[in-house]
A and B are shown apart, each in its own frame.
Chain A
Amino acid sequence: MTAAAPALSVEGLSVEFRTRSGIVRALDNVSFSVRKGETIALVGESGSGKSVTAYATMGILDPAGKVTAGRAMLGGLDLLSAKPSQLAEVRGREIAMIFQNPRTALNPIRPVGRQIADVLIRHRNVPRAAAPAQAIEMLRAVGITDPARRARAYPFEMSGGMCQRVMIAIALAAKPSLLIADEPTTGLDVTTQAVIMDLVSDLARDMGMATIFITHDLALAGQRSSRIVVMHAGHVVENAATKDLLAHPRHPYTAELIAATPDAAASLDKLASVSGSLPDLRRTDLPPCRYSERCPRKIAACAQPLPHTTLDADHAAACWHPLPIRRVVAPTESAA
């Protein structure tokens, strides 16, 4: 499993936000890594810190946010302590990001072809005169019909699916080695979602890119990633190979998430809901395990500091009382 070197390895990342009502400990000791050519998924409810992890790695956190500990190694460079000028070289060229809402992420007053050309000129040293033609080629590569005409269109003239294709073209224009996709298909139809996800995985495979795919849909993550990192309230609670994690979840939170995913149950009554809600991250008396207050399997040991999770273990769960290994979750109907 350790054959390929990690493209990105995040170690012990902690992030705080200073707000008027106190310090929000948004991330605490988050560690994971992604290898070259691998796709991992960051999964969790909204507010669990998935996007903050991505933003911190990209160095585009909100000014109120501060990285208090940790490293994010991309090749030999620590992204978290890099100078802004170094980061500017890496961003767009080495790491690219696809944002959640393509319509707001694209520049509304610039034709999409020009926006792609900008990346080519800045990061690939493409001559100004040749950039528009290459931008049209990128549009063709992401499956936009009539790319020459579409290159002159503005984002508002395109459908949501097409805007997302343009975002992908911009992200991939510089042939990055790492792609972060932050809920790329939220707000799109299932049919469009399938096509967009196919596109991302095909291009990632062809270019040998490492991909971090952020989503709250465990079913989608299961289909599209080889590894899943489950986050809850700023902690990584479980990290395992996708098949293993879905079939044998060890952390109780993962098990509840799986039970809440519509596909797992035949009827609504069988669907479980995740009990409780995320703890207030401004509290100073947060328990070591931030899930313990919602947890159905809480024991006395949960008051101790979290068990150390090894980064390269095939299946890591930050839990004192994990589910037994041989627990199988609803496999009966998936076989049918």
Chain B
Amino acid sequence: MTILLDVADVSKLFTAGGPGAWTRLKRRLAGGPQTLPKVHAVEDVSFVINKGETVGLVGESGCGKSTLVRALTRLVDLSEGSIKLGDRELSLKAARVFARDRDRARIQMVFQDAGESINPRFTAFDAIADPLRRLRKLHGKALIERVETVATQCGLPPQLLSRFPHQLSGGQRARVGIARAIAVQPDLLVLDEPTAALDVSVQVVILQLLQRLKKDIGMSYLFVSHDLSVLRLLCDRVLVMYLGKIVESGPAATVFEKPLHPYTQALVAAVPRLHQSGAERLRLIGEPRSPIDPDPNVCRFYGRCPRGTDACKAAMPALRALGDRQVACHFA
């Protein structure tokens, strides 16, 4: 298998609040320390996506999935690390420069809530045509033809193309979001919870559409979600993220059936199932640790972990290989 995307040691840190400008100026004049607290949103994340593969990324809100995705799609700049798309190193160019790069079209994104992420003053046609105009320089007849082809491919009848987002149903809006992302024929499609805002019945249709598109077009997917049962249906491999770090990865089916990391176990136990009465009592209590300047020697999950011992606050467990899986826990 050929590697499409190679992500190595990616970190993204944000500067957090800290003292105001006046205090900082006074400190600088006094020659005091200048370091500000940093939010470690994503830390040392490495993985690869092969051609034609669907990789799932799962974790709770605030764990850094969206930041990681925004870094991969080059919407924000990295603090450290490298992202290689084929042979091309993407992290060298600033995000705002990359917006006009020739490889921009190769990574596209479907955003979370299509109702919020599509310009409300664009018709469905304009929304799908926008990336084609900008990245493929299509005009006139060729543009109309391409938009209609893509819309039909996504199950959106051409009559609906003149409508505005508020005139479309949730499922139709989701289709517009997908259509505009695949219009420029990307190699990698990043989907950030594309079905989170949809009903169960519509969700199935959209997931089936995504699976069919993948076969037809031959893209790779990075599918972000907090719902493991959805990921299991669509993905070959999953990455489990907790507080900026990947804690487990492996084939979707085995991770779902035999989770190794205690966090993954809690995640799997939390998924409601149809034919299982009485919830399994494996619950995470408390809130995650603070991501602001975390202690590099304490496991990120310590304090919430049902198995935490003194070893967990003495050394951060590294991600190590176990067969075809990887896990970051002393006890796995």
Question: Taking beta carbons and an 8 Å cutoff, which residues of A are in contact with B?
Answer: 45-46, 143, 145, 159-160, 162, 187, 189-195, 197-198, 216-220, 222-224, 242-243, 246-247, 256-258, 260-265, 267-269, 271-274, 277, 330-331, 334
Which residues of chain B from 271 to 290 have a CB within 8 Å of any chain A CB?
271-279, 283-287
- Cβ contact within 8 Å between A260 and B284: no
State A193–B230 Cα separation when bound (angstroms).
16
Given A261-B200, A267-B233, A190 contacting B270 (CB threshold 8 A)? yes
- Cβ contact within 8 Å between A216 and B200: yes
- Cβ contact within 8 Å between A264 and B274: yes
A-B contact pairs, 26 of them (CB 8 A): A45-B199, A45-B200, A46-B170, A159-B287, A160-B61, A189-B60, A190-B228, A190-B271, A191-B60, A192-B60, A197-B279, A218-B274, A219-B274, A222-B277, A247-B275, A260-B203, A260-B204, A261-B200, A262-B204, A262-B227, A263-B275, A268-B204, A268-B208, A273-B204, A273-B205, A334-B275
Closest to A47 in B: B199
- Cβ contact within 8 Å between B204 and A263: no
* Interface assignment of B201: CB less than 8 Å from any CB of chain A: yes
- Cβ contact within 8 Å between A271 and B272: no
* Interface assignment of B211: CB less than 8 Å from any CB of chain A: yes
State A303–B272 Cα separation when bound (angstroms).
37
Beyond the given pairs A190-B60, A260-B204, 15 more chain A to chain B contacts, judged by CB atoms under 8 angstroms and listed by A's residue number, are A46-B199, A187-B196, A189-B226, A191-B266, A194-B269, A195-B285, A197-B279, A219-B271, A222-B275, A257-B200, A262-B233, A267-B233, A272-B204, A274-B201, A334-B275
Closest to A221 in B: B272
Residues of B within 8 A of A219 (CB): 229, 271-274
* Interface assignment of B234: CB less than 8 Å from any CB of chain A: yes
* Interface assignment of B86: CB less than 8 Å from any CB of chain A: no
Interface of chain A, main secondary structure: helix
* Interface assignment of B45: CB less than 8 Å from any CB of chain A: no
Residues of B within 8 A of A273 (CB): 201, 204-205, 208
Given A189-B61, A262-B230, A217 contacting B200 (CB threshold 8 A)? yes
Shortest C-beta distance, B247 to chain A (Å), equals: 13
- Cβ contact within 8 Å between A198 and B283: yes
Query: What mask results when residues 276 to 310 of chain B are scored 1 for a CB within 8 Å of chain A, else 0?
Result: 11110001111100000000000000000000000
Shortest C-beta distance, B26 to chain A (Å), equals: 28
State A192–B196 Cα separation when bound (angstroms).
15
Shortest C-beta distance, A51 to chain B (Å), equals: 13
Residues of A within 8 A of B287 (CB): 145, 159, 162
State A274–B228 Cα separation when bound (angstroms).
22
- Cβ contact within 8 Å between B200 and A260: yes
Closest to B226 in A: A189
Given A45-B199, A268-B207, A191 contacting B274 (CB threshold 8 A)? no
